[in-house]
């Protein structure tokens, strides 16, 4: 059990709610400028990855069957909600990446615009996603909110469900966004968050329901993630 004075553990988000797991190892989320331990995040593996993918797969058929306008409306509602929490999300980004306030605020604003469908150029070049499918998304801490959404939004609009694995260095913005999806009426299982590192990525690659693994972030890290995907013959898009 976590002691009351320990840093808060960031859970996963599976099937529309926070999911706590007793991982063998936790990663300390630190403020890169001060070194202060802000939070802890579980380094999950194949078991948690399978749970997240199972939830996404169970939700995929109903999500794909919705009218495209209905999916877009739900994403826009999340964008509207995000606007109301700009300061909170910017604070999370500042704390976990060390960027300045202007850059963090701009990232949140761009994420809200993307969710509302006002920035199609961000998603240009991504392959179309087959309906009733599951897409895995891995992002680094370069742009912990916008990076994940640049891959997730076009997939969700196209009818796929997603499992997002943020960087363990900056896990909070995506988890907080998952909470907003629930408040905005997203069906459970459509947007899932898996915490972890290489073991979590390998778990996603091993899941048969995952049609592709998308990466957003530093190309050098992307090459390493791509090598993990190649072990399982999983389509990789960076």
- Greatest CA separation found in the chain? 48
Domain-embedded: residue 27: no
Ordered DSSP codes for 39-73? EEEE-B-HHHHHHHHHHHHHHHHHHHHS-HHHHHH
Output the domain CATH number for residue 46.
3.40.605.10
- The reply to whether 29 falls in a domain is no
Structural domain of 204:
11-22+42-237
Return the HEC string of 151-173. HHHHHHHCCCEEEEECCCCCCHH
In a domain, 30, yes or no: no
In this structure, is residue 28 part of a structural domain? no
Question: By C-alpha distance, which of 81, 51, 64, 55 is closest to 177?
Answer: 81
Per-residue model confidence as pLDDT tens for the chain (238 residues): 444 467 889 999 999 999 988 888 999 999 999 999 999 999 999 999 999 999 999 999 999 999 999 999 999 999 999 999 999 999 999 999 999 999 999 999 999 999 999 754 344 333 455 567 999 999 999 999 999 999 999 999 999 999 999 999 999 999 999 999 999 999 999 999 999 999 999 999 999 999 999 999 999 999 999 999 999 999 999 9
Q: Which two tokens stand for residue 182?
A: 């629930």
Number of domains in the chain: 1
Q: Which residues contact 15 (CB under 8 A, 6 or more apart)?
A: 55, 58, 59, 188, 189, 192
Has residue 5 been placed in a domain?
Answer: no
Using DSSP bridges, classify how beta strands 161-165 and 191-193 pair: parallel, antiparallel or unpaired.
Answer: parallel
In a domain, 66, yes or no: yes
């Amino acid at each position: 059990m976590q002691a009351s004075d320990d840093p808060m553990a960031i859970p996963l988000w599976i099937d529309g709610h926070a999911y706590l797991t007793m991982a063998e190892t936790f990663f300390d989320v630190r403020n890169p400028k001060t070194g202060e331990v802000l939070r802890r995040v579980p380094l999950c593996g194949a078991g948690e990855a399978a749970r997240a993918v199972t939830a996404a797969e169970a939700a995929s058929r109903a999500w794909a069957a919705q009218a495209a306008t209905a999916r877009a409306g739900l994403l826009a509602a999340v964008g509207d909600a995000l606007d109301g929490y700009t300061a909170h999300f910017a604070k999370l980004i500042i704390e976990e990446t060390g960027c300045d306030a202007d850059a963090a605020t701009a990232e949140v604003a761009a994420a809200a615009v993307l969710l509302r469908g006002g920035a199609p150029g961000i998603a240009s070049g991504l392959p179309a996603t087959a309906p009733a499918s599951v897409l895995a998304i891995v992002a680094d801490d370069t742009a912990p909110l916008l990076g994940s959404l640049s891959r997730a939004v076009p997939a969700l609009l196209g009818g796929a469900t997603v499992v997002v694995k943020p960087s363990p260095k900056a896990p909070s913005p995506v988890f907080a966004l998952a909470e907003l999806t629930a408040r905005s009426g997203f069906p459970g299982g459509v947007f899932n968050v898996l915490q972890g590192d290489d073991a979590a990525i390998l778990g996603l690659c091993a899941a048969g329901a995952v049609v592709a693994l998308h990466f957003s972030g530093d190309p050098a890290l992307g090459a390493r993630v791509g090598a993990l995907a190649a072990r399982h013959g999983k389509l990789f898009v960076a």
